[in-house]
Amino acid sequence: MIQALSSDNLPKPHFRYSPLIKAGPFFKTAGMVALDTGSGQLESGGTALETRKILANLQSALPDFSLTLDNLVSATIYTTRFDLFQEINQAWEEVFHADQRPPARTALGVSSLPLGATVEMEFLFYRQE
């Protein structure tokens, strides 16, 4: 069974899509940009701040789906500022410490992202029923 899920701890979509899909034991997020959950506006301040906001939004919603970062299988990072990838990686490492298993990860440089964001991330989780 495939289910569309949502959470008040995730920003509301600006377009028509499901923020999270559950398909069997897999949970797949839509691409997430650094939106404020209250206003729905893009947080500005550069790649590091956007990355921190995306990861904070993700972490605040995980309990709503009975997920933790331990369930995270993979992440894909898109950025319009690949020259500043070290900033993205530094913000990433604030969440994924050396003593924890990090997910598989792919990073891509792109020419533009929705709403003028410089970073977008999507995540795949696995939770056995």
Whole-number pLDDT of residue 16 = 87
Whole-number pLDDT of residue 100 = 86
The whole-angstrom separation of Cα 117 and Cα 9 is 20
Whole-number pLDDT of residue 12 = 81
Question: Is pLDDT of 129 > 80?
Answer: no
Q: What is the pLDDT of residues 58-78, one digit of tens each?
A: 999 999 999 999 999 999 999
Whole-number pLDDT of residue 54 = 97
- Measured over all CA atoms, what is the biggest interatomic distance in the chain, rounded to whole angstroms? 41
Helix (H) or strand (E) holding 57, with range, is helix 47-61
Indicate the pLDDT class of residue 79, thresholds 50, 70 and 90: very high
Q: What is the pLDDT of residues 88-117, one digit of tens each?
A: 999 999 999 888 899 999 999 999 999 999
Can you list the domains of the chain with their CATH numbers?
2-126 (3.30.1330.40)
Q: What is the pLDDT of residues 5-62, one digit of tens each?
A: 989 888 888 788 899 999 999 999 999 999 999 888 999 889 999 999 999 999 999 9
Q: Is 118 helix (H, G, I), strand (E, B) or coil?
A: coil
Sign of CA dihedral 74, 11, 61, 2: negative
